A and B are shown apart, each in its own frame.
Chain A
């Protein structure tokens, strides 16, 4: 049914285009700039991974685009265009026809995102009947098909069950079935696997990818885990403190990570080739206060490469050597100036966290249980 819908859709221009989107919450302490000048565009059928740690604004970004944030106490700016139509400052009542049929959302915790007192079948047919005005029997049949397609065995029995009768993975599958019911063109998956067991995570992500391909649906996959997006996205945007700091096609990003934050994120994931008991490289410090963000680069206080310039001037998000690879850093990782900056910081003992960034050094250090301090000789330095 979804394939027919897409036949008539105009196939020119990006599906979703954001320009300088800002979202700020009014609080007693002042404006919290949760999303601060984010721009990107997403083509039909493509996947964008939005990566960042807790509180970097990635969930707020997806809710801003959907228009699901409350209108009170929220200041918003910039332009959001969906299929060329400006939806940035549309009212909820105007957006309602888009919700479910054009864009849809999967939430982090399937335990709370399903109604505890409504049968799951009903929760699926609800939006079908609302948007598509179909008969009850047709909606029920579609619900069964959807449950089958999201890999739920015995769908006839499951439609009459409640959410609490299902496992976490099963609930997330139901969530996906609900979100896909009306054949949206864009799916927001807001940390869809965070609340799930690791073994189920991969299944759910595979399911999302498979459904996305079948339905030629664009997806924005929000996660804090670079590992989750590595094989499943076309582009990746890394966010820090409300801003996009590095943006690239997935392959390019993993081949040449430029921003020290992206690099540090990757280093904080345990790897199979690391010897056991080797220390993980955590990023020291905390994200900045979003009411009074730092003057220069927001990552500067935690950055091993930070120089005086970084603390004064905001580095622009711009393309450097590789086309399509944008990053916002004066001293990027893997460039002569970046290495030089880091070496200088190490020499002055100013590296925050003071742990080895290079895995080679960590491997060397772990063979002898020497404390991995900044004094350890670095191969690049």
Chain B
């Protein structure tokens, strides 16, 4: 197992000092060469979960009020098992870029606007690899070709503003993979792109996975995109992973009513005009979730009792398929009752 996240919590430190949880009990694993998609709506905690793994918040990160707890075991290339959440700053610097690459939704804010693409690749390699700058520059061409550029030499000389949105995102992939990390965290990497360009980026990631055994933690709200890239899917709602399993299983036979509702809310390409079915109400406020199951106010299957009072614990439907629901869908006894 390359990454094993257990009971990850992310909280917001309030002015009084107490910590208000946003992500509670997120757990999942990513194997070598595997693509896990973390799916959820705004506020579900999916991006915070990803940022927690590279600790891009806290004392020297995005928001000093955010704190993370739990365990996130990463198998490094030296074979060592390290807990990302308990590493010191210096150790983290050795992990970021070298063991874990990160691409964000908006490449424009992640790329350095005043550096040519090649210099950003060289910088990333020089930080981690024992090679000369000339050697790093030589590798830039290959990395850009791997990211799907037919003319890597030209792109290498470009500044970010000279590239289109899809090209920027692929340049970002080349930079994120410059020091050959084995895990790539991709946070909504295609959300801002057109369908055709989205496909180029997904295609690039799929190819890198096949060729280099890259593991991918793919964060997205778009089930269409996710269905193309993910081997497994973890669905997040209200700061918890509410369902996890093989992608085809989760998408075709969702066990959690939220997963089912999310799938139904997608517009479909059917010849008959069919309106997608909205999920009533608005997503749970992660800082202030309803009691019991966070989804119960929006759930068609919620009943008074457990749903409204008890947070459902994780249930294994079978090996590798987890659901947090008092009334999971699709079980034999549920079907028998019609």
A and B: bona fide binding partners: no
B residues sitting closer than 8 Å to A (CB atoms) are none
A residues sitting closer than 8 Å to B (CB atoms) are none
